[in-house]
Structure formats: structure tokens, C-alpha cells
Amino acid sequence: MTKYVRYDLKGRKALVTGAASGIGLGAATALAQAGAKVAINHLPDDPRGREAVETLRAQGHDVISAPGRVGVPKETEAMVETAIAALGGLDLLVNNAGTPGVKATLPVDRLDLVTDELWDQILATNLVGMFRCSRTAAGALKASRGSIVNTASIAALGLSGSSIPYSASKAGVVNLTRNLARALAPEVRVNAIAPGAVESTWLEWTEQQLKWQIEKSLLKKIGKPSDYADVILFLAFGNEIITGETVVVDAGLTL
């Protein structure tokens, strides 16, 4: 994975949710490599989270484990509060935790497959959990004049995504980002990224789906976690005037 030397983040403190793999792990790694102290949130029973912490510590980085299920009331808030206390403050919250709720894409015309349980699961984690994390971290971020970066999706912009509930949840993230930017200004900036496909175990992509993503993108490629991490770090530390925006990062797929 690319080593980030663009930013000197020594003394900075960050919490990344959903950081056991994919974009979250990419962001946590980039932050740690730049010198930040990073709390890596992961599901309590996901061994990948603790493995990521151990790997980064072995490389000499200052990271801690922050287990907890984003989307579960009180557990979400407790995880954020514990992480902030362990870090000694907070400069950046990366709201990346999310779930597609399915292993494979649900065809948009199969409404019979979209259950109430799927709606509840996806909204609880992808949208309400993100709000809870932000609300809990708001005081610490105001004190440091920090920032929040949320993970939305190009599914929020009218694409079908993995399911109707998933796309709706990510559209909510775009709106939530703008309203949190209003609510936490002027001390805290709040932005989002809208990723396209990513090299991860997020969904069980078919060979045809992967081929379509590559062929339809202008740059003929799929993003790596480090590609998305690069934009997250820019929004967090590379500027002081961008807020309320959602940056599309998709190799030109939506074009």
C-alpha cells in the first residue's frame, strides 16, 4: 500500500469507523503512516480489526483498537467516547462504517427481495449510526477545530447500487453531510467522498460486474483503498475552506 508522506500529522488524533478492511483500513493506514494516532473501529468479533492494529503497530505506528457496532444505540456512542478518551482528543472522524446488507446485488426490479429487516439494518448502520458517531464526537472536534469525512457512494447520485435501501442510505449521507456542515460550523468542517467500485471484499462481484465497472469508467480502472484514502486526507488536512461537499471518486464512472 502507498506510504503517505504528503502530510505531517504528528500529534493529530483520528477515529476511523469500519476500518477492518477496504476504504476504512486504507484511511487508517494512511493516517498512521503520516504520523497520526489512530483509533481503528471494527466489529467486536471481526479478527481483521485486531490483525490490522497488530500489523500497523509492528510497523511502528501509533494505533489502538476501538471495537463496537456502529448502528447499535448506546454501543455506538460508548465506542466513540472510549476512543476519544484513549486518543486524548480528536482531530478527525472518518465515518466509514457501513453495510450493503446483502452478499450480491439485488436487481432493482425485485422489490419482493427488499425486506423491512434489510431497510432497518442498512439505515441503522449507514445513516443513523453515522449521525450518532458525529453527534458524540462533536464536542471534541469543536475543541480541536477538526473535521469529519463521511463515506457516501456514487449510488447516492442516482445509480442503483447494491439495493434500493443501500442507495437511499447513501443519498441520506450526502444530505446529512451538508446539514452537519451547517450544524458544526464554523469550528468543524464536514465533507464526504462518493466512491465508485473498490478493490475489497465488500460485495461478491461477478466477473461481468467488474468488467462493466472498468469498461464504463473513463480511466478504465477500479479504485484501491489507498486511492480513496488520498481524498479523505485531502479533505481533512489539505484545505481549510471546503465544507458540506461530496467529492465523487470513481475513475470517471458516473461520467
Computed on alpha carbons and rounded to an integer, the radius of gyration of the chain in Å comes to 17
Q: What is the DSSP string of 183-240?
A: HHTTT-EEEEEEE--BSSSSS---HHHHHHHHHHSTTS--B-HHHHHHHHHHHHHS-S
The one-letter code for the residue type at 32 is A
Question: What distance in Å separates the CA atoms of residue 223 and residue 198, rounded to the nearest whole number?
Answer: 5
Neighbours of 151 (CB within 10 A): 26
Among residues 4, 7, 166, 228, which one is catalytic? Answer: 166
For residue 36, what is its C-alpha cell?
A: 497520526
The one-letter code for the residue type at 5 is V
4 among known catalytic residues: no
Give the C-alpha distances (Å, rounded to integers) separating 23 from 106, 197, 199: 22, 11, 9
Cα-Cα end-to-end distance for the chain: 28
List, by residue number, the catalytic residues: 166
